[in-house]
Chains A and B, each alone.
Chain A
Amino acid sequence: MGKKKSVVLMVLLTIVIVVLCALVAFPSVPLGEINRWSPIAERYDFGADLGGGYYTYYYPQGVISETVYVENLSALEGEEADEYEDSYKKFNGLYLSTDVDDGVLNADGEVTETFKTEFEKLAKEVNNRFEKKGYSAYRVAVVDDYALRVEVPKSESQVSEVFTQLSKTGALTIEKGGELVDELKEEDVTVSDLISGFSVATKYKATYLSVKFTSKGKAMVSRVKSELSESSAGSESATTLDIKLDGATVVSIYKDAIVSGNGEARPMALDQTEGHRIETYSIMLNSVLDNEYEISFSDVSDIRTFSPIYGSAVVTLLYIALGVSLLLALVLPIVKMGRFGVVSAYGTLSYFIVAGICFKYITGGVFEFSLGTVFVFLAGLAVMNVLQMQLYGAIKKEFDLGKTVESSVKGAYKKTIWGVVDVYVVLLLAGIVLLFAGAGLFTMALQAIICIVTGAFCNLLWLRGINYTLLSASKDKFKYFRFVREDDDDDE
């Protein structure tokens, strides 16, 4: 490539890189009265440790908080107030109903064993439900032995729906046109005999709830299918197959939602970006399908936000630390490797841009930026720069054998390429395994894969191109690599 072409190309590349860096990281500034420029780095969904979150309380029926008790009592007078006082017994920060029919306390005013056992079982199940949501961090805490406080990160966009749905217990039923289906009228037949499970499925950019029927359920669907309405019918006059929880409809299945063969129905179709909402329903329905609960929670009312408990300045400080690390990653290769180090600097900026943009836009789902993200990003950056350093060492070694600069570069790339491929293949395999691990590692695995693929692209392709362009534009190829030769022949 000619010198002029190379110079023009590098100038253009530099401009593009600077603009993209600004897109990712330029500080937020107001644009007029209303609008505001925000860099991508400010628009990440942060995990609870960096971004705070939401929390609410789950109180079983027959249990209320001290605040509610005091407020209700203060609104009553005389006999009414006395009656109200008698209807509850204080237990730490909670008040438990003394009515034996509520099942919380027995006639002696002691908490019943059934309530204790059922609450413990329900607390574990609520924990399982939130775990299945795959948050990087969540919290289900037992408060005063008989209530729950639940936390989710701020990245949850449907927090009210999540808190409400994941608190639900009760009996599942299936009705057609408002009437219980015949199969459930038989003795000892429950919904789990008709439905084997619920899951989330995606097709043609839509996400839907997949309801899988058992063979008995298939027979039921075959029997009622012809009587069901199409989804285009008006909702008031439509006849649907309804899956209800304690009498309230959760899912309505129209005729066209039933897949041929009648083994599956696909109601609740939403845009792919809203798949996490279907996931919430799927988790709740599977939980009530597989388990029976004797107690239930009161309606979820107060949902509060909380800021990062360790201070809202944590994100700013973290970004400062990252910024300093990036600066070192830019400067040190230049100090160590001369103009070849400029290639590494371009690599660092390219890695920062691609990873920064991918962290935000690679998926429409929850993709939390947490402390693990920082470590993964830095690890990828370090590996990429050290592999470049290894390449420099190989070029130097080839040059010391007496080869020309171009031959040395070619030879070094040839000798090191498989080593670099091995490193990235191993990392990619590990990342893919972590992806299927779940257990809260899914997000970190996705972020690791982004960093690995970006690093591989930089080391194997991008930086090679930049090196070729910069080398072509360089006046003195020896000085470019900081090589010294006794016989100073011009080998062009």
Chain B
Amino acid sequence: MTNKCISKTIHKGLWFSIIVGVVLVLSIVFSVIFGVNYAANVGDDKTLTVKMETFFYDNKLEELEDACKDEFDKQGLKVNYTYYGEMSGMNCEVMYVFENASDEKLQSAKAEILSLIDTNTADGGVWHGYVMRVTTSSENANAIPSSYTVKATIVAVVLSLVVGIYVAIRYGVWKGVIACVAPLMAMVFSASIIVLTRIPFTTSVFYAVAVGGLLAEVFTVLTLSKMRGADENEKGEQLVVNGVACKEMLYIGLALGVALLLVGVIATWPVRWFALCALIALDTALYVNLFVVPYALLIVQKCADKKAESKTASGYVGAQKKEDSKE
């Protein structure tokens, strides 16, 4: 996308803002009806724990794990992830955390594994002399402390205000307002998309959304700085269209996008989810700065140009300029 494309989309900025609003409202409704999808290791979980001696853990764990996995497959239990809890010199444990496990199936699996352990630890058995215990539990963790969400929201607002004040001092009040709103909009937009797409919501998502907000600020400042350095003859829409730092934004977006794709492709699923959230945060920062900010800047620029025109129309010329023109 080049600045030519900006000239085609600049007048539709209001519609692009409305899209953000609609997505936000949808995400709120969605989360009220279906709840937020918290990550695999939070929320309600059923677990099956096998406790064993350290020597068995170090030397025969694989045999036990194979037997457990066979039993889980028979019962149709899906292991979400496994904790390998080690404690030197004493009892270790392996905790299997299941996805959507019924109590009935879990108790059946427990009974079968207990029976297998009894057989194998009896005289002549392959695990003779070892003592193992099997227990089942349910766990319910606070997904993300509610105070985190409240604090994160307050921080996002304060951050935007502080940056807005700096930009207002450097570039003018209304541009400061735009610099204040742009990162907020980007953060809200990315959080809404993450909720709507049911991507597992973890504390890492806060990081991704926060960095997306920072990138949105960077993009806005790059645009404002480019506009300031523009040709004196450029005014109004032309100034804004040519001032949008498209190339810089897209290069940053491309560089980060490629890096995040690499991270997502190479790493395992939870890291992929994080990379996806980060990509969403990056894309929303680009969206806001390519489609919404230029429209807002156009309005501000048009008002500024009108004001400048009314000053020259009055015929007033400053003393210095009068002297210069006489010379």
Q: Please measure, in the bound complex, the distance between the C-alpha atom of A426 and the C-alpha atom of B215, giving whole angstroms.
A: 10
Q: How many whole Å from B7's CB to the nearest CB in chain A?
A: 20
Q: Please measure, in the bound complex, the distance between the C-alpha atom of A328 and the C-alpha atom of B251, giving whole angstroms.
A: 13
Q: How many whole Å from B288's CB to the nearest CB in chain A?
A: 15
Q: In the complex, are the beta carbons of B92 and A378 less than 8 A apart?
A: no
The A interface is mostly helix, strand or loop, or mixed, namely helix
Is A434's CB within 8 Å of the partner chain B? yes
The residues of A that contact B145 with a CB separation of less than 8 Å are 127, 131
Contact A430 B214, CB 8 Å, known A305-B85, A314-B271: yes
Q: In the complex, are the beta carbons of B226 and A419 less than 8 A apart?
A: yes
The B interface is mostly helix, strand or loop, or mixed, namely helix
Is B206's CB within 8 Å of the partner chain A? yes
Q: How many whole Å from A126's CB to the nearest CB in chain B?
A: 10
One digit per residue, 1 when the CB lies within 8 angstroms of any chain A CB and 0 when it does not, for chain B 66-107 equals: 000000000000000111111100111100000000000000
Of the listed residues A66, A321, A375, A431, the one surrounded by the most CB atoms of chain B closer than 10 A to its CB is A375
The residues of B that contact A415 with a CB separation of less than 8 Å are 229
Q: Please measure, in the bound complex, the distance between the C-alpha atom of A432 and the C-alpha atom of B222, giving whole angstroms.
A: 20
Chain B residue total in the interface (Cβ 8 A): 80
Contact A309 B142, CB 8 Å, known A418-B225, A429-B162: no
Q: In the complex, are the beta carbons of A304 and B140 less than 8 A apart?
A: no
Of the listed residues B139, B166, B213, the one surrounded by the most CB atoms of chain A closer than 10 A to its CB is B139
Contact A440 B93, CB 8 Å, known A317-B266, A378-B259, A423-B225: no
Tally A-B pairs: CB < 8 A: 221
In the complex, residue of chain A having the shortest beta-carbon distance to the beta carbon of B92: A304
Is B167's CB within 8 Å of the partner chain A? yes
Q: Which of A131, A143, A437 contacts B137 (CB 8 A)?
A: A143
Is B258's CB within 8 Å of the partner chain A? yes
Selecting from A12-20, A366-374, A478-486, the interface stretch reads A366-374
Q: Please measure, in the bound complex, the distance between the C-alpha atom of A70 and the C-alpha atom of B132, giving whole angstroms.
A: 11
Q: In the complex, are the beta carbons of A142 and B139 less than 8 A apart?
A: yes
The residues of A that contact B41 with a CB separation of less than 8 Å are 139, 309
Q: In the complex, are the beta carbons of B207 and A71 less than 8 A apart?
A: no
Is A439's CB within 8 Å of the partner chain B? yes
The residues of A that contact B217 with a CB separation of less than 8 Å are 426-427, 430
**Residues of chain A having any CB pair with chain B under 8 Å:** 49, 55, 65-67, 70-71, 92-93, 127, 131, 136-137, 139-145, 149, 302-307, 309-311, 313-314, 317-318, 320-322, 324-325, 328-329, 370-372, 374-376, 378-379, 381-383, 385-387, 389-390, 393, 415-416, 418-419, 422-423, 425-427, 429-431, 433-434, 437-441, 444, 448
Q: Besides A142-B140, A371-B271, A438-B151, 11 other CB < 8 A contacts?
A: A67-B135, A92-B136, A321-B262, A325-B259, A325-B262, A376-B211, A419-B226, A419-B229, A423-B221, A439-B147, A440-B148
